[in-house]
Homo-oligomer: A and B are copies of this chain.
Amino acid sequence: MTRMTNANDAGSAVSGAGSNGGRNLSDAAIVARVDAGTLSTVIDALSALVTECRLEFDDDGLSVIATDPAVVASVSVDLAAGAFETYDGANGTFGLDVERLGTIVGLADRDRPVTLAVDAGTRHLHVGIGELRYEMGLLDPETIRSPPDPTELRFEYGGGAVLPSATVDRFVGATDLVANHLSIALADEALRIEADGDVDAVSLEFEATDLQAFTPGEARSLYSLEYLRDMSRAIPGDAAVDLRIGTETPISLGFEIADGDGSVEYVLSPRIARE
């Protein structure tokens, strides 16, 4: 097994050595370096929906689109080359065990740089954090569920609002007390959330003037709380969430990451209400 051993690696090139046989990674397909906090945010965003995904690297940076097993929700992540400390990228598609990489990156402080080097030949991802080298097997992208075509994820939304992530946490947490789905609607000058249980009911009304932005429109749909709960947990605490909805259409929840050098968008299909 190849091991990465040069503890002094501080730049973009990870060179192999060590008693068990080395392998020069100058022929690694991709070498990139990014702070652990940004990488964790990306991993958390993906983990809300999937356990494995396809990483797409090109000259512009990293992008991932993935759909949950039930094909009810999707997540799109873009991380521009500018979000990386160094980005020495070639084109390539690799299959990633998302949870495994999350555990490794979790060993690092959030502001610590993490070096990622993809060895396309051995299909391994080399993760370097300070004196730590982790060699992780990659998955065959062909064995991973195909992501949707991005054009299929563009919907006509009736309107929307921009709100703090804490507000999303709040309406998800409150409606979760009574039901496993909730309705999100745009009223004249307010965003309105409702959930009905067998006995109890919850509603929350956020006035347009209390929101960071508000686009009125015709919109009311029912969504699964389970998905929204997982998504809300993955949204960073300081994010402004761009929420877009229509009537019986998907909802889109978007937010910036990496100080604007990256973005995440969740799209969740509506549930059909039984009247």
Contacts and interface: CB of A to CB of B under 8 A. Distances in A.
A132 B169 CA distance: 13
Contacts of A5: 192, 203, 205
Q: Copy number of this protein in the oligomer?
A: 3
Contacts of A173: 107
Nearest to A18: B203
Contacts of A200: 100, 134-137
A204 interface: yes
A207 B9 CA distance: 12
Interface residues of A, number: 41
A174 B134 contact: yes
Interface in A152-211: 170, 173-174, 177, 185, 187, 190, 192, 194, 196, 199-207, 210
A19 to B, nearest CB: 8
Contacts of A194: 3, 20
Interface in A19-65: 19-20
Contact of A7 (B100, B134, B206): B206
Contact of A131 (B4, B103, B134, B206): B206
A176 to B, nearest CB: 10
A229 to B, nearest CB: 14
A-B complex: 10 closest residue pairs judged by Cβ atoms: A7-B205, A137-B199, A135-B201, A133-B203, A136-B200, A132-B204, A3-B203, A134-B202, A1-B201, A131-B204
Interface of A: 1, 3-8, 18-20, 100, 103-104, 107, 131-137, 170, 173-174, 177, 185, 187, 190, 192, 194, 196, 199-207, 210
